[in-house]
Structure 1
C-alpha cells in the first residue's frame, strides 16, 4: 500500500515542527542566558563592594595609625623639633629606628620616610640624606607645594637618581607633621598588596577586577598584561564600586564573554525573531491542515452512507469526531465479519469437544449412532475406516503446585504439551485426537485404520512423558486403557485409562501406567489395615516404641497392593482420628501440644501426591510427636514415681487385692490423684493396665504350662475362675480353653 498521504503530511508538518522546536529552544536559551547575566551582575556587584570595603578599611586603618604616631610618638616630635641642638644626630637615629620598626610591624608598607623642611633633610629607616640627593624629591616638592589635602595617590616610586626606569608602583599618602614648617611624613603601600586582595576574593580564570583612578586610568588589575597608568577597558564591566577613602573605582566583570555579551545585547531581537517563527509555524499548520482535510471529508461522507443512515445516525455523526466516525463505520463492518467467523469457529470447537466427551462418557448402543459418528469423522477430516481405538489420559503431576507457579502461563504450557503430542504423532499411520477433559487431564484418542500395533502407542506415550520431563518444569503421568474395536466402545477404554492414571498414587508419578501394571498387583483391601491403625495409636498413647513395628507392617501391606488416593487418605484420616481421641486422654498439656504442633502437620501431609510421600511424611511426623510426648512425660515431677508404681504392679499382679486403694496406701497418694497421674503417664486407666499385665502373663502360662484354668486364674490375681474366664475372653476374644487349644493345634 502506498503512503502518499502520509508522506504529504510528514513533509508538511515535520519542517514546521523542527522550526518551532528550535525557536522554543532558542527562546529558552536566551531567557536562561539573560537570567545568568543578571546573576553575574549581582555577583560582581557584591565582589566590587567587598573589595572597596576591604580597601577602605585597610587604608583607613593605616591613615589612622600614622596620625596616631604623629600625635603621640615622642621620637617623631623630637625629629621635627627646633630645640634639638647638639643631640640632633641622636634624635635622627632614634627616629630612623622608629621608622624601621613601624615598617616591619606593618607588612602593608613598602617604605616610610620623613621630610624636615627647615634643613631639607629626608630620613628613611636606613639613611638620612638631603632633599637634592633623595630619589623621590620631585614627589616631596609636589606634596609640600600642594594646596590640596593629602590623599592616597597611585604613583611610581623612583629607586635611585641614576635609574631612568619608571620605578616601583605604589600608593602613597603624605601626612603633615608641622603645619608651619610644612614638614611631612610619607607612607608608600605596595601596589602588589592590592593585587593580592583582589585575587584572594575573585577567581582570575572567570572574573577580572580593575582598580582605576577617577580619570579611568588603571591602578592595578587582575588581567595579565594590563599596564598601570593606561586607560582601562570597561566594555565588559558588569559592576563597579567607588572607594570612599580614595575615590578610586573598583570595576569587575566576567572574562571571555564576547559571545555572551553579544547575545545578551541582542536579547530582545532574538526573542522577537523566535516569537515570529512560532507564530508563522502555527499559521502554516492551520493552512496545511485545511488543505489536507478535504480527503477526510470525502471519507466521512462514505462512512455516513455505510452506516445505518437516518436521522439517528446523522445525530450521532454530529456528536462524533471525524476519525471516530470513520473508525466506527469500518469497525461495524469488520465486527460483523469477525463475529460470524468467531461464531463459526466456536461452534466448530464446541461441537468437536462435545463429540469427544460424548464418546468418553458412556457406551452408545443406538442403532444410528455409528452412521452419525462416520459423518462427524468425515467432517473432522477423518475419512479412513476405524479398525480399533485406544484411549490414554495425560495428567499433570502436582497440579496445585503447577497452578500456583504458572498462574498466567498455564494455557501456554498446555498448548505446548498439545503441540508436543501433535509433533510426536505426526506422519504416523494412526490418527490422534486430543482434548482437555479437566484442568489437569488431557484425553488422547488413538484411532487405528490398518491394525496398527498397540506397542507403537506405548512408545509414543513414553516419548511424550520423557520429553516433558526433560524440557518442561513439570512432569506428567500417562494412563493407557484397553484396546476397543468400535467407536461406540470408546468409554470402556477411557474408563480404563482414567483408572490407570488414578493408581499413580501407589505406583508413582512421571511414568506410564498400562493395563498390565494394574493386573500385576491386587487391588487394595484397606479394611485389613485398620487393625494396624488402632495398634499404632494405642502404642503411641502408651509410650511404647513398638508403634514403629506396627507402622512398618502396615506400610508393607500397602506396598504390596494397588491403592487409590482416596482409600489411603481415608485410612490416614482414621489414624488421625484415633490419635486425636487418644491424646485427649493423656491430659491437657499433651493434648494441647498434639493439636497445635503435630495434628496440623498430619493434615497437610494428606495433600501429597503419592502414597510413598504420604506414608514417609506421616512416619516422620508421628516420630516427632512421639518424642514430644516422651519429653513432656519425662519433665513431670511424678514421672519417676509412676514408673515405680508400674514396676510394683508388674511384680505383684498376682495379688487379688491389687487396687487403687492399695496403691494409694503403699505410695501415699490419693486414689483420684493417682488415677489421673496414671492415665497421663501411661495413656490408659489403672484397671486397663493391670488387666493387660495379667492377661499377658495368663497367655504365657496357657502356652507354656499344663496348669488348670482355675490355677492360672489364681496365679494372675483372680480368685474366681469365672471372673478370669470373662476378663480373658473380653481381652482376647476367646476363652482360656479355646486359646490353649488353638495354640496346640498350631504347634502340631
Structure 2
C-alpha cells in the first residue's frame, strides 16, 4: 500500500504557508494604506467643516440682511398693510428698497414680495398678479405649509408663465409679519450654481485632490437639475468620502477623496526583506515536513491495526478497490456507520410514529388506558413524566388559506417548526411538561401534564397564562397569528378526550370572538341547549332584510344588534354560518318584491357581492363590516332612485299615516285613501309596487311589532294589548299574531321570559 496521503499531507502545507506569508505582507501594506487614508479623511473633514461654515455664514448673512432691511423697512411694511391699488410712487419706493438690497449681493437671482390680501406680486422691475405669476406654485405651497420655512431645496424657477427656460435656485422665505405671515411673503431666490461655484473655488484654492458637491436635504445637487450628490458606489467607498450636514439649512456637503500615486511607492519590496522571506519559507517547509512525519505515526498505527483485523476476519484485503490508506479506512468504516445510522433512523421513526398514534388515540378517545399504563408507554417513547392533572388544548393558525398562498412549502414547514418549538420552550421555562403533535395542517394539539397538587382551577389558569405568552410571542415575531382553545382539567387519562373536545368547542368560538385570542372552555356552554336564542336572531335578521327592502334606515341598528349578540360567543360555528346563509337568502327573497328598476340595481351591485361573501368566515366581525358597507352602498343607490319616484313619496306618506293611526280599529285602506285624497285601487297598487307587500299585510306587521313591545315591556293582559294596537276582538288579534310570528301572544311572552332567564345564567 502506497503512502499517498503522507505526501499529500506534506504538500498540502506548502501552499498554506505561502498563503499565510502573502496575507501577512498584504495586511501590512493594507494597514499602512488604511491609516494614511484615515489621516487624509480627517484632514479633509476639518477643511470641509470650514467650507460648510462659510456657506452657512453667507446664507445667514443674507437672512439677517433680509430681516433688517426688508422686514423692518417702513416702505415694505406699508406695501403689505395697504390693500387695493396704490400710487406708482409707492411701488417705486418699494422697488428701490429691493434694488438696494440686491445690489451688494451678486448671488441673488431675484426677489419678490407677495401680498396675501389681493395676490399682488412686486419685483425689482415689474409687478404681477398671483394667477399670472410663473412662481405661483411655490408661493401656494409656502402659504399652505404649517412648518417654518427658511431655505428651500434646489428648485426650478420661472418668473413668467411663458418663460420656457427655467433656472435652478434656492429660496429664502420670510413671513410678513414675522410670526404669522398673514400679510404675505418675501421670497429671495439665490443662484444655486453660485453656491456650488463658491464651494469648488474654496476646494481648488486648497489644492484638494477630490470632487466637492453641495446638495440640499433631498440630495439634489446645486449644480443643476438632474444631478444628485452622495450616491456611493463601491469605488467611491474605497477612495473615501466626507459627508457633512449643515445644522442651519440641513444641506449636505460631499467630498470624494481620490488616491494619488504615492501608494505605489509604499508597495516597493526591499531585497533584504525578500531574502529573509525566502529563508523563512524554506525553514517553514522543513519544519512542516518534520511535524507531518510526527503526526502521521498515530495514523500509521491505526491503519496497521485495521489491516490486521480485516485479514483475520476476511482472510484478504481488497487491494483492487484501495487507492490509499484513508480510502481503505473509509471503506472499512462506511459499512459500520451506515448500519448504525440505518438502525437509529428506523428506531427514531418507529418511536415518532408510535408517539403520534398514542397522542391521537388519547385525544380522540379511541383508546382507554390507565394512568400506570400511560406512564409505562410514555417512558418507552421518551415522554416519561409523572402527572396528576392533564389539560388538553388546540392551537389553530389564523387565516391559514392566506398563509398557504403566501409561503412556499419549505417556508411553511419552517414556520410550523418555529411555532411548535416556541410553545414548547415557553412551557419548559415554567417547568411545565408539554406534549405537542400536529393534528392537521393548521392545528397543533397540546397536552399539558402536571405533577403534585395545586388544584384543577389553578392548572387551567397556568395553562392560560402560558398560552397567552405564546400567542403574544407569535404575534410579535412571526408573520401570522394563532388562536388557542383550552379545555378543562382532568385527572384520568380516559378523560383526556373530553378535555380535547372542550378545547375544540372553545376554538369554535373564534368565529364570534375573533382570531388571535386565547379562549378557555366555559361549562355554561353545555348547560345551554344548542341553538338557544338562534330563533330570535333569525327573526331579527329577517326583519333586517324587510326593513332594508322598505328603505327603513333602522335596518342598520337591527343588524348591528343581531351581530353583537352573535359576537357574545355563546353560539357555535355551525349556528353562526347557518344564520349567515339564512340572512343572505332572506335578502334575496325580499329584494325580489321590489319594482323592476330597483331590482336591476340590486342584481347589478348587491346580489353578486353578497354571493361572493365567504360561507364559513373565520371571524364574524369581518363579515359584519363587509355586509354593512355593501348594503349601505346599495341603499344609497336605491334611495336615489326612490326619491325621484312619485309613487315612493305617496307610499311613504301611507306608511307614516299607518304609524300614526295603527291603534285605531277603524284604520283601513279606504280610510287612508280618503285621508290622502287618492283612489283606493290606485293607492293599493302603488303601495304593493313600492314595498312589495299588500297594505293589510303591512298594517298587520306594524300592529304585531307594537304588540310584541307591549308583551315584553309590560304585564298587561293580551286583551288590553289587542285594544291598544287596534283590535276590538282578542281572537282576531291572536289569529293575526300567530299568522305573523308562528306562535300565540301568550307563548311569545313565555318564551321571551325563559330566554331572558337563560341569558342571566
Tell me which interval the TM-score lies in, with the shorter structure as reference length: 0.3 to 0.5
- TM-score calculated relative to the size of structure 1: 0.46
Highest Rg: 1 or 2?
1
